[in-house]
Structure formats: structure tokens, C-alpha cells
Amino acid sequence: QVQLVESGGGLVQTGGSLRLSCAASIRPFSTYTMAWFRQAEGKEREFVAAVRYSNANMTNYSNLVKGRFTISRDNARNTVYLQMNSLKLDDTAIYYCAADEYGLGSVLTQMYEVWGQGTQVTVSS
């Protein structure tokens, strides 16, 4: 069964850091573009970052997180990461991992066919 499992969320103060992980059971992992989305309470799910299946150096980010967040993948471990630095109150949300086979790093939720259950990130002042 195809599955994505996120971990690493939690409570952090403004300016702090967290590292999210997403362990994937999809095979082969290397054919999937992986992305992180987030959804704050009362808001729509929004794109955060993506890393291409074809080249781990090909990434794209939301302007809201560019320069603060870094997405990376480890194909040997079937895992994608999101390093989040300089966290702000507005980063508070449930963070979801998503997979799109042979994807181009779309910012659209409908392009991703596999989703995780999410992990809560709460930034406090």
C-alpha cells in the first residue's frame, strides 16, 4: 500500500528551527517528485516546496518560505526532508508530504496523487 508518513513536527518559538521528515513506501521512490504543503486553521492548503524526481538539486519554493526552508531528498532512504529555519508565527500549520510521479514540481494540490496524514507545526511567541 502506498503510504507517506510525516514526522518531526512540534512546538517551537519564533526564530527557531524544525526538521520534518516524510518516509515513503512508494516504489520506486526515485520516480516521484516530492513536495511539502501546509494548511493553517481556516485556510486552504498551500504549496511550500518541491524537489524533482529527476534531479535532487531541482527545487522550488513558495515565496513565503524561500531563504528560510530547505527541501531535500534521500532516495536510498525513501525519505524527503524539510528543514525549517527562522520560523515565524505564520508558519503555524499542519504540514503535509505529497508525491507526484514524474511531476514537475507543481504548486497545485490536484497534481499530487499521494498524500500523508500531516504533522502539526506550532510556532509560538
Arithmetic mean of pLDDT, 7-32: 96
Q: What would the grid cell of residue 35 be?
A: 513536495
**For residue 93, pLDDT beyond 90:** yes
d(CA 41, CA 90): 11
Percent of the chain with pLDDT over 90: 95
Backbone angles phi, psi at 57, to 5 degrees: -85, -10
Backbone angles phi, psi at 26, to 5 degrees: -70, 145
Q: Is 98 helix (H, G, I), strand (E, B) or coil?
A: strand
d(CA 29, CA 41): 31
Write down the pLDDT at residue 26. 87
**For residue 83, pLDDT beyond 80:** yes
How would residue 107 be classed by pLDDT, with cut points 50, 70 and 90?
very high
